[in-house]
Structure 1
Amino acid sequence: MRVCYYELLNVARTASPEELKKAYRKQALIWHPDKNAHRIQQATDQFALIQEAYEVLSDPQERAWYDGHRDAILRGDDSVGQKDSSAGTTVDDLMGYFSISQYRGYNDDPKGFFHIYRTLFQKLEDEEEEAVASGASDEVQSFTRYPSFGSSSTPFADDDGYLGYGAYVKDFYNAWMTFSSAKSFQWADKWRLSEAPNRFVKRAMEKENKKARETAKKEYNDTIRNLVAFVRKRDPRYKAYQDQQKAKKDAQVAENKARAQRERLELQAKAAAYKEQEWARVGEEADSVSEDEDEDEDENGDYDDAFYCVACNKYFKSQRQFENHEQSKKHIKIVQDLREQMLADEENLDLQAIPLQMDDTEEGESIEPVNLTDVGEEIAIIQTEEAE
């Protein structure tokens, strides 16, 4: 009779993760082989069982499965009673393989991990092939072989050269993780149809039998899929592959960081060694002529009238300063304001209709506006006469 995992750790079935961890550490200290030299073999076996118990119960998914099938797992192959030989391997038979006590070491020996589970899955595959060949399955018409479990030297996945489907452990797990049995599960029937008194009772019996078969098939499929997950988690080849993938990922992350650091240093070096172009310096010098510098120019200095800005009323020492000033925002603003002011004054000035203000006009007498064109002609006539 197998020992319950909760009893191994000496905790209640409602224990929290923290309580499980504390109990595991306590039991591990008690049964560690280094502390039990007088019973080294017993301590080694017990210590392995304690590790297995904590490994299962600390995983929420595996713990839920264990709690739901605890009694069947504890019975294992020790269960007694009649069973239909056509059923082949049953759920109760599989429960015994949910334990590390089923094998001794991770090797290819007859009691080793790889031999035990390779033999088991080969047997399950043979039963599925027989069910299809006998015509017991209505769903599957042809059978496809599953990839082999392999040995300790079988590669988990493709690394250098692809060897084909089925040559890798990864193919095995991918196929069995989606396992669906082709068996009929007729041994799960509750009623014998030949005993039905009439067709109505027979129809009810068929309905209950069909439901019982579907339930048995679902339980069988779930058991095998969970067993595959249980085995994969403890498969040294899978663990080595996970470590290898993690190492590659860490190396890639480190390489990305190093490349980013190199690029950053290269950019800093280029920025430090950057030599400003001549044309860029000239442009900056032109822009550096500020408005304050224009205002600080000495208006009484000895400047050339050729470098005088009428709009801003300023003198400049050289042609370059004068050109820079003409490009400044302040000068452009002043010129624009003057242009707008002159346009406004021109619109307001109407020389064609200017009324004459006569001091000696009598009250009520209207004064007509003077036509400047006529006045201009009279002045021209007078000037001509005087010249003669």
Structure 2
Amino acid sequence: MRTCYYELLEVQTDADDIELKKAYRRKALQYHPDKNPDNVEESTRIFATIRAAYEVLSDPQERAWYDSHKQQILSDEPIGQGSDNEFEVDSSVTGVTTDELLMFFNSALYTRMDDSPAGVYQIAGKVFAKLAKDEVNHGRRLGVDKFSLYQDDVFETSLNSEGYVQACEKYTESYQNSSDSMLFPPFGSSVTSYEYLKGFYRKWSEFSTLKSFSWKDEYMYSRNYDRRTKREVNKRNEKVRQQARSEYNKTVKRFVVFIKKLDKRMKEGAKKAEELKRANARQRQKELKDAYLADRRDKLANEFELQGWQAVDENNFEEMEKLYANESGDQTNLSDNEEEEIIVYDCFLCNKRFKSEKQLENHCNTKMHKRKVVEIRREMKEQSITLGLDDLSEVDDFDSADEQPYDSEKQANDEDEEESNEDDSSLDSITEELAKIEEQLAQMGAESSEDSESEPEQENRDKILDDLLASLTGESGTDDADWLNKRAKGKSKKAQKQQETQPNGSTQPQVCVTCHERFDSRNKLFKHVQSSGHAALRTQLQRDTKNKKNKKNKHRH
């Protein structure tokens, strides 16, 4: 069985070019034939093997191919032969492969949201730690700057030795203090903050591997090939490597997105961050509004200037104090319980105000004021009739309201007015009776002229009419005689219009208002009135009836 080149030079599999060169010089001095004259053949064979190992490992292309086919080389099996032409590559070279990472895309593995070994945080955290360790090892193998300072490989080992939660807290704090201590941040535990997790997923979403994927080469590279063959071999092998690298990067990024959707810490943190953002926005808006209002008030205060009537003159104020201090004791020594009496002279009808009582008295004697008083009285009388407060008013001029019961408080005040108006109401009744008699006499006179009655009969009628008028006017007084005559004439005209003939030309039957006896003509009715004296009797009867009605109404109210 052949010896491994790394073991022969006594270096690690991730040793860089400087370590390889130092190891080769140390071994060459030890096994060079000139340094071993006693055992030249053995030292020559070993020295040739050391030189071949250094040439393979110092060339990146040959070293990558050697790493990917080391197991077959050490087993002395021909390349390309074996069961189904398949072979395994050392896991220390490949690290986590794409096929192995795809096994962790199973949601059934992440049912428990805790820090237990079967929990989502510990399973996913160890996978991310392994991926970070592979990148650091390959970076060191390629000789990339600063990769020797990263502690990702140490963190992956500490997860098993110190415990997952303790190791995460330790290296998470170290990464927050100095991001140069690790290439990738740790996944953290269930208590990791939301702000830290945002940085974790942002870093891993930019993942790009440093693995060479030389174990994917299809053709063996050798220095013995000519230039054209080497170029073609490198071209085909590089194409296969690029495909494998691209697939690996996509798989890692998809795994990051997959774990992020399952991470409960991100959901709760995003919700709280949104609420905090809204609260800050409202607070900021309120502060801006308050600042604007304060600035606006200051600006208005600076621009505002007092008007002359708003400013206080201190000199006038002092003079007023002196003036009131020197006034008589009657005005200055008023007690708190006393109030100064203020007299106002107003005419409410004319809506005018006067300075003295004399001016008000002169105004009340003017024609305009008296005319206003008459108008107000008339309006009050109309309103009283409309409301039913005065049923003894002139019914010919106004439409009185229905009689309504008066209040008990108002009854006593209205009794005096009703007593004073009794005489007026009796006078109205006399006037109505006189108008009716004159109307009947006029009708009788018209019929008597048609029948060509004699003048003595006309003289008798006039005499009777004069006697009736004298008897009526004697009771009512001479002062009202003229007024009664005028009123009777006016009403006789109305009655004459109402007693026109019917449409068929026939006259209405004449009825005596006292005995209710019917007559065919006015002449017969007149003769009946003249002989029986029912006209005077009816007049006295109406007076008595009117007085009784007034007394009844008075008792009713």
Q: TM-score range by the shorter chain?
A: 0.3 to 0.5
Of structures 1 and 2, the larger Rg is shown by: 2
Give TM-score scaled by structure 1 length: 0.41
Q: From the two aligned structures, give the one with the greater helix fraction.
A: 2
TM-score, normalisation: structure 2:
0.30
